[in-house]
Amino acid sequence: MNLDMVVRSPRIPGPGENVCGAGFRMVPGGKGANQAVAAQRLGSGAVLLARVGDDFFADFLTGKLESAGVEASLVSRTGERSTGVALIVVEEGTGDNTIVVDPGANMTLSVDDLDALEEYYDGARSALFQLEIPTEVAREGARRAREQGVTTILDAGPPRGVDLPFLRAFDVVSPNQDELSDITGEDVTDIATANRAARGLVSEGVPTVVVKMGGAGSLLVTGEGSWHVPSFDVEVVDTTAAGDAFTAGLATGLGEGMELTEAVCFANAAGAAAVTVMGAQPSMPARRQVQALIDSQGVECTPL
């Protein structure tokens, strides 16, 4: 759970550059919280295990989570670190962003905190993990969820240099292009290079890789083959958290029993809907928006 401090800028500043921006806002964010809110809006119930600081930001974020309908009773507080904060610059015109995140209190979560999830495995379809918490907590959380028959999905952001044994703990690993480069050490610039890098992970024992490619759509790679799903035609306002909507869409689709290819198409539509609205949690789409996109533009999933 992070407080996002967002400014619009005519361009993303380079090192040492000073740019005059506008439209400062504080919005609820953080990859886990965004995904929980998106899952809830897409029709899945969601419970979030997270930690915030003992500060004003924590009250704001917890209130937003609750008003979105997410079960927030496992959000705990610490006096050791401040609530996570992300400094975000959104480029006007393209909606591209840069983010610097200090996960703060999120990083004080420990493996022992996972005990609180025990009562939720029964009836849960998916467990989503992100890398704004200690990696050992994500790894052990995935081990426990998998043992309980829950599908484990890793949103591999932000880049943390994770290794193959870690990635094999998840049924589905979903990086964006940069994160896939970070994981594999390969230059990922387009569908072909993403496919090669993702195939490498699958051949090393990661069951399913779903790559978020922004305007180029997404890529599904399993032991059975590779499929490309093109992006939807939408007005891009802010790409922040589009990947979170995507991951929640994937979990929702799989949880409802969709085939992998169908779930990736649904996820693609959720990500596309998210880029049309400014801010992380404010942009997490409702089910009807996602369905409207699918109904109006159709979905295509092409084997590579």
Contact assessment for residue 91 and residue 97, using Cβ atoms and an 8 Å cutoff? yes
Contact assessment for residue 110 and residue 134, using Cβ atoms and an 8 Å cutoff? yes
Name which of 267 and 301 has its Cβ closer to ligand RIB: 267
Length of the chain in residues, anyone?
A: 304
- Rounded CA Rg of the chain: 18
Exactly one of 155, 171, 238, 244 is catalytic; which is it?
A: 244
Query: Is the backbone of residue 185 left (phi > 0), alpha (psi -120 to 50) or beta?
Result: left
CB of 182 to ligand RIB, least distance (A): 15
CB of 142 to ligand RIB, least distance (A): 19
Can you list the alpha helix ranges (DSSP code H) found in 164-237? Answer: 164-167, 177-184, 191-203
Name which of 84 and 200 has its Cβ closer to ligand RIB: 84
Helix (H) or strand (E) holding 272: helix 260-274
Name which of 162 and 280 has its Cβ closer to ligand RIB: 280
Measured from the Cβ of residue 184, the count of other Cβ atoms closer than 10 Å reads 19
Q: Applying CB under 6 A, which residues contact ligand RIB?
A: 2, 4, 29-31, 34, 86, 99, 101, 132, 240-241, 243-244, 280
Q: Decide if 244 is catalytic.
A: yes
CB of 96 to ligand RIB, least distance (A): 13
Name which of 101 and 237 has its Cβ closer to ligand RIB: 101
Distance set, CA 304 to CA 32, 36, 123, 195, 226 (Å): 31, 32, 35, 9, 5
Closest CA to 171 of 123, 129, 206, 222: 206
Name which of 28 and 200 has its Cβ closer to ligand RIB: 28
CB of 28 to ligand RIB, least distance (A): 8
Q: Which residue is nearest to ligand RIB (CB)?
A: 29
CB of 247 to ligand RIB, least distance (A): 9
Which residues are known to be catalytic?
244
